[in-house]
Every structure is written in C-alpha cells, then in structure tokens.
C-alpha cells in the first residue's frame, strides 16, 4: 500500500517556502574537462572513458536492487557526477537528482586536531568540479533530469511525490542518517533503495567470493550471506577514531539488519536484501542493497506541500 497516485498536489507553497519552479537548478554549460571531477567512471560521448573512484558500469542494476524503473519518478539522493541518474533515465525513469549545494556544509567529523577544516576546504574545491562533471554529462547525454541542490536534512516538499528514492552510499557519510531518510521518504510513494558498503565480519567472508569466476562457481553465495547477515548487530558502529585522526568524511558502518529496521520504522516494512560487488579503485568491493516497499504511513497532501 503506497500513497495514492491521484493524490492532490498543490505546487503553490505557503508563505516562506519555495515553489516547485524555484527549487530546480539552472543547467550549467560546461565544456572544459579540466574543470570536472568524476566520482564514478563514465563513458562520455566525444570523450570516451573517464575514470572515477567507483566503476558501476557492470553492476548498476545490482546496485539499485534490480527494481523496475520504467515509468517511475525517482528522487536520487547524492547524484555526484550523475552516473546512476543517467542510468536510471535510460531505464525509463524520470529523475530528480539531489545533491549538496555549495551553500551547505558536508558532515565532516569535528576532530579537535583541525583535520576537518582541511577536509572541508578540499571538499569545497572539489564540490564545484563534481557539479561541473554532472552538467557536462547531462548535456552530452541529452538528459532531461532536473537537479535540486540543498541539504539532505531538508529535502524540499516542493519536489512533490516520487515513486522511488535512492540512497547510494550516502547514509554512512551523514551525522544523522535517520533524519535524512525521514525527510526524503516523506515524499516516497512506493520504494526506497539503500546501498551501503558491507562491513563487519561479513566483509572478509564476502571477499572469499570476490572474483566473478568464483561467484559463478558458488551460485548460493548471496543466499548464504543473507542468512548470515541476520546475526549481525542492529547497532551502528562509529568509525571516527581520535587516535587515528580519521576518517573525516565517514561516520558509520551500517549493517543490513539496521537498515531494514530503520526502513520499517519509516513505513517500509517489506524489505529485500541483496549482495553484490562493485569496483572501487580497481578492486572488487562487497556491498549490500536493501529495497524497501511502503506498507504504511501514507502521507496526506498537506504533508507534501508543507501545510498543516
């Protein structure tokens, strides 16, 4: 049971709130590749392959939990240079890409040694290049996706209802992942997709099946991990350590049982868990994806327009 598709949605906001026409960013015209930074490896028309930290080209469907995207309106939280945004468009989705604006601060860990300040300066320098990379690819692909910049803790209600929301390796970087989920899922009618790095004692176990030929030879590896994952703790693990002075940009190790419980709290009680490998810095990296379906807590029109 999801939010009815014939829900009345009034784009006119109450005083002090932005309308839907005001929230979407104007496209940038970017032509200089040296002004771009790519988080994901992409194939760009006229440029060929551009390398990023993550290469999802062979595993994008698994990364997104294998959901059917045709005809869906999707809110993508954390678009970066847009690889998944444009992939979802090719699958038939209408995408609203959401990312941090240059007016907002990344959730850096506030180490007393000042490392967070150094990381923030670097992030601000790179943030504009990531946005440039998105708009360069947007133009080259002829994309119709629209972009909203802001903070994940205050996703604008003016975006309106969406069928699907995706969080691709976002929650681990947030000081308050619950609030971020709550804000975005208030707009979500049908499904949420959360993908995170696999951590804890399941990570080395999964790496035993790392190379693709080994995974093909052991067809039940994902089923085995799914069964074992039930034994993992539902408590998040805080990763920053004062003795190491890091990490500065990552807060949590989140387990599959924890993600499933959080989604259930927010009304997405029917969940499906899958495991997969994606290439990070050229190496196969174990990850998991939870797809949640809305089962309760449908939001009235007033909640979507900010009234009430």
**What distance in Å separates the CA atoms of residue 142 and residue 89, rounded to the nearest whole number?**
11
pLDDT per residue, tens digit, the chain (308 aa), is: 333 333 333 334 444 455 566 899 999 999 999 999 999 999 999 999 999 999 999 999 999 999 999 999 999 999 999 999 999 999 999 999 999 998 888 899 998 887 777 777 777 778 899 999 999 999 999 999 999 999 999 999 999 999 999 999 999 999 999 999 999 999 999 999 999 999 999 999 888 877 776 676 666 788 889 999 999 999 999 999 999 888 999 999 999 999 999 999 999 999 999 999 999 998 999 999 999 999 998 654 444 444 33
Distances (CA, A) of 10 to 38, 65, 158, 188, 303: 37, 32, 9, 16, 11
Q: What is the pLDDT, as a whole number, of residue 223?
A: 86
Distances (CA, A) of 72 to 61, 154, 191, 211: 15, 23, 10, 33
**What distance in Å separates the CA atoms of residue 102 and residue 125, rounded to the nearest whole number?**
10
Q: What is the pLDDT, as a whole number, of residue 18?
A: 55
Q: State residue 120 phi and psi, 5-degree precision.
A: -65, -40
Distances (CA, A) of 246 to 177, 201, 241: 19, 21, 6
Domain range annotation of the chain: 20-305
Q: Which of 111, 98, 212 is nearest to 154 (CA)?
A: 98
Cβ-count burial 68-102 (b if 16+ within 10 Å, e if not): ebeebbbbbbbbbbbbbbbbbbebebbbbbbbbee
pLDDT digits (tens, 9 = 90+) for 227-254: 999 999 999 999 999 998 889 999 999 9
* pTM score of the predicted model: 0.88
- Cα angle value 148/49/98 (rounded, 5°): 10
Strands 48-50 and 42-44, how do they pair?
antiparallel
pLDDT digits (tens, 9 = 90+) for 58-99: 999 999 999 999 999 999 999 999 999 999 999 999 999 999
**What's the topology of domain 20-305?**
Rossmann fold (3.40.50)
- Cis status of the peptide bond prior to 247, with omega within 30 of 0: yes
Q: List, as one string, the DSSP characters of 146-177.
A: EEEEE-GGG--GGG--EEEEEEES-GGG-S-H
| Other CB atoms within 10 A of residue 248 CB | 21
Q: What is the pLDDT, as a whole number, of residue 218?
A: 66
Instruction: Specify the 3-state DSSP secondary structure of 62.
Output: helix
Q: What is the pLDDT, as a whole number, of residue 36?
A: 95
């Amino acid at each position: 049971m999801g939010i009815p598709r014939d829900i009345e949605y009034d784009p006119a906001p109450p005083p002090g709130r932005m309308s839907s026409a005001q929230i979407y960013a104007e496209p940038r015209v970017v032509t200089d590749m040296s002004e771009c930074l790519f988080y994901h490896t992409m194939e760009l028309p006229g440029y060929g392959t551009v390398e990023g930290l993550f290469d999802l080209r062979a595993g994008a469907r698994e990364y997104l939990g294998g959901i059917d995207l045709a005809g869906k309106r999707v809110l993508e939280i954390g678009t970066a240079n847009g690889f998944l945004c444009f992939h979802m468009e090719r699958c038939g989705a209408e995408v609203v890409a959401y990312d941090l604006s240059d007016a907002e601060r990344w959730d850096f860990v506030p180490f007393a040694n000042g490392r967070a300040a150094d990381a923030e300066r670097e992030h601000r320098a790179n943030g504009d290049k990531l946005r440039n990379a998105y708009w360069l690819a947007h133009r080259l692909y002829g994309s119709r996706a629209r972009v909203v910049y802001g903070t994940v803790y205050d996703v604008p209600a003016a975006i309106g209802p969406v069928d699907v929301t995706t969080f691709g390796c976002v929650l681990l970087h947030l000081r308050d992942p619950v609030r971020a989920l709550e804000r975005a899922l208030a707009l979500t009618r049908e499904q949420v997709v959360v993908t995170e790095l696999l951590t804890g004692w399941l990570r080395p176990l999964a790496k035993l099946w790392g190379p693709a030929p080994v995974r093909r030879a052991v067809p039940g590896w994902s089923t085995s991990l799914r069964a074992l994952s039930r034994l993992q703790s539902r408590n998040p693990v805080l990763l920053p350590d004062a003795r190491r002075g890091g990490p500065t940009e990552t807060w949590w190790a989140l387990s599959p049982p924890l993600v499933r419980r959080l989604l259930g709290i927010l009304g997405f009680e029917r969940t499906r868990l899958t495991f997969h490998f994606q290439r990070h810095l050229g190496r196969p990296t174990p990850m998991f994806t939870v797809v949640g379906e809305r089962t309760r807590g449908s939001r009235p029109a007033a909640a979507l327009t900010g009234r009430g």
